[in-house]
Structure 1
């Protein structure tokens, strides 16, 4: 009788507390907390905090006046001015919001003037305000969301390409123009648009520019440097014979003598281009200088021309080629964003240096990275956060089904974009030369241009960077 009574009490307790379950406590190393989910209580580990965002590294602060910014001096440049300068194509309110949220950080520089930690150890960083004064060599880190951009509904288009463009094609080409003065023309070239035409190619940039971008001049602008057909970004053209001659001299890479004046020579010394590229893999060193000469070889009985590293074959006809590179952030899904600054102007220099010197070919470069592309699987996995060792958490962005040559495509387009260009103010110096007025020069006068990435690279950027939380 007593045993029957105890069984009834146990059955009653089970019925009353059937909706409450107690799980085994977690290991002693983790502090247990009580959680309730769907009216079920259990012991578990505390909820993890937000995962760290992927950080984008800016170049070290140069310590000299910023090109194109007359008001800023080398001795008083604030952090927000440096970010607005570097991200010239980003709306200022977006940059200000990152400061307001405390998302902008700076490396801590110790007494030895070295902010780099030992290999494998995280960097020591502090949050900074927008009015922080930049010091020479200071390096800022911001979340990649600062460079996040919307994808236009109408993707990049290419003119139908006749030697006599119609009104729509002329309007399209004029929308590509970012800057125009009496001496030069700067355009943001879309991908897949050839630069130099031949008999079977009519929609080349030089032919279209001559027909649609002459404006009030008798002749159209002329090319002074080139971009590959698949490469996008800033393209510079000269409008007069004098400007074309000076720009050819500037981009020739062989500057034996000086010309014009000291101000012109100083401005030429500060001329540079910066490219952004998405590469497969990640370079071993986060930044460095590639000094690898290049040479051209003929394949298929002279039908195909290919650029290779000259050192590997000991060829005497090799040309000097120097590229400065910097990794922008950690590797995500097997790919990395890097910044390239060529010091010489050689054909396919950046593509060969990335593929053969660094061992990380550019996404979409099947000419120099076909072997790795055959083994590469797009979006194979989610990489781990380098500081904590925990995997990134990815949320699905809108429009993932839209590929248009992005990293999601089975055959992605080339992910190489000429993003930044700094050149002398050709029109000013030519005017001073005509007037023979060199005493009134106030120092080097530079022009700086920044071009937004094309749609296929924006999709890849948003997917692989900004949507990591």
Structure 2
């Protein structure tokens, strides 16, 4: 193994913000990284696997207990204990206490090792779309979760840590996520430094969306999804602007993102999506570059948001639709890890989700890290972009071909 090729003295968050054009500081401080809540828990509880701990943060089940000084009615200063939700990337202050749910006792302390066959390891490496010293980009298959957790046998982050390190001494790290049934471009940082820079870029672009700053010329990070949806919107193209919020469901076992009516709630995050209809069809489906819940055009295969629409599309009673959903794929079509990308097109009774992260444009972080001291603020803003395109999964391509015929 070799060590990471990039210096850890770089303030990765500051560099990422500069690349995104959101920071105006003159230099990169070389101070050590601040300790985040996730890092502190993993350091204090080395027996806990990383993925289940990350899931606790995603489900908003981690709390911070801190002491604050307040002035009482008689003018005296008194200590007050405050307990608030804590994010994985939140920095800690001296004296803070982290509170974990009792369910953490159920997490096995020793990480279960999964031994892949040659076919499985070759399949993981076949997902690579692009690789350089800083990042690795995969074409995520539908049906495979990105992150592990309780009850998940295989996850892409764990498999990447085993088979995609190559000669590096550290595993690639996720910088964003795709839903389990979604397919397409997934970017991972190959080192802690490059992952932190990409985290900062993704975060700054999300904040820019919240401020309705979505001019293509200003965006250094662009994502394009392709989707097949039921029905057609009133306009062939437009912009969706809606507040989104994570909602915990299934008694805390999972979560979902949904449109939230009260945009003033601080926990909601504003999302802006530009969509364009590529093609309409007499089959009551529409080819979309991207769509959203607010358009009233559910994505084919998304039974969570479009149950009734699928019943009408397939002309089935609710009981028959449930039977189709519970049918298992033919073993003859199965890929490694039990994945099925052949079945699930619009010609089949059991539909897979037709949502695919097709294209992504992002800054060439590797170029900036080759010699960071030589890059001025203007140089970072003018970094050449990487343009990544991910082929459609087989079942989506089949649906496209059917609609074209």
| TM-score when normalising by structure 2 | 0.59
Q: Take 2:207 and 2:256, find their aligned partners in 1: how far apart are those partners? A: 29
Is the aligned partner of 1:376 residue 2:326?
no
Q: Is the 8 A contact 1:271 1:422 kept in 2?
A: yes
Deviation at 1:296, TM superposition (A): 3.0
Contact 1:282 1:331 in 2 (8 A): no
Q: Which residue of 1 aligns with 2:219?
A: 269
Partner of 2:202: 251
Is the Cα–Cα contact under 8 Å of residues 295 and 315 in structure 1 kept in the other structure?
A: no
Shift of 1:373: 1.5
Name which of 394, 398, 401 aligns with 1:459: 398
Structure 2 unaligned spans of 5+: 1-111, 209-215, 317-340
Structure 1 stretch 326-335 or stretch 432-441: which is displaced more? Answer: 432-441
Distance 2:295 2:396 in 1: 21
- Determine which structure has the larger helix proportion and give its number: 2
Q: 2:272 aligns with which of 322, 336, 339?
A: 322
Q: CA RMSD in A?
A: 3.0
Q: Does 246-255 or 322-331 show the bigger shift?
A: 246-255
Q: Tell me, in whole angstroms, the C-alpha distance in 2 between the residues paired with 1:434 and 1:246.
A: 15
1:297-344 Cα offsets, whole Å, 9 max, x none, are 34454455343321269755322111110000123300000102xxxx
Pairing partner for 1:332 from 282, 288, 294: 282
Spell out the pairing of 1:166-205 with structure 2 (5 A cutoff).
166-205=117-156
Shift of residue 293 of structure 1?
A: 0.6
In structure 1, the gaps of 5 or more residues are 1-160, 258-265, 341-349, 380-401
Aligned counterparts of 2:378 and 2:255: Cα–Cα separation in 1 = 49
Instruction: Mark the CA change 1:220 to 1:461 in structure 2 (over 3 Å): closer, same or farther.
Output: same
In 2, Cα distance between equivalents of 1:183 and 1:272: 19
Correspondence for 1:240 = 191
Question: What is the rounded CA distance, in whole Å, between the counterparts of 1:193 and 1:328 in structure 2?
Answer: 27
Q: Is contact 1:378-1:407 (8 Å) kept?
A: no
- State the distance in 2 between where 1:248 and 1:442 align: 17
Distance of 2:262 and 2:300 partners within structure 1: 24
Task: Measure, in 2, the Cα distance between the counterparts of 1:441 and 1:404.
Answer: 45
Shift of 1:294: 1.3
Q: How does 1:426-441 map to 2 (within 5 A)?
A: 426-435=365-374
Which structure's CA Rg is the greater one? Answer: 1
Report how far residue 436 of structure 1 moved. Answer: 5.1
Superposed CA deviations along residues 384-404 of structure 1, whole A, max 9, x for unmatched, are: xxxxxxxxxxxxxxxxxx961
Cα displacement string for residues 226-279 of structure 1 (whole angstroms, at most 9, x for unaligned residues): 11110111110001121111100111246789xxxxxxxx99833201010000
Alignment of 1:119-198 (within 5 A): 163-198=114-149
Matched, 1:310 2:247: no
Partner of 2:357: 418
* Structure 1 pair 378–279 and aligned structure 2 pair: CA distance change class (3 A): farther
1:442 and 1:279 mapped to 2: Cα distance? 37
Would the aligned equivalents of 2:177 and 2:186 in 1 still touch at CA under 8 Å? yes
Output the TM-score relative to the length of structure 1. 0.52
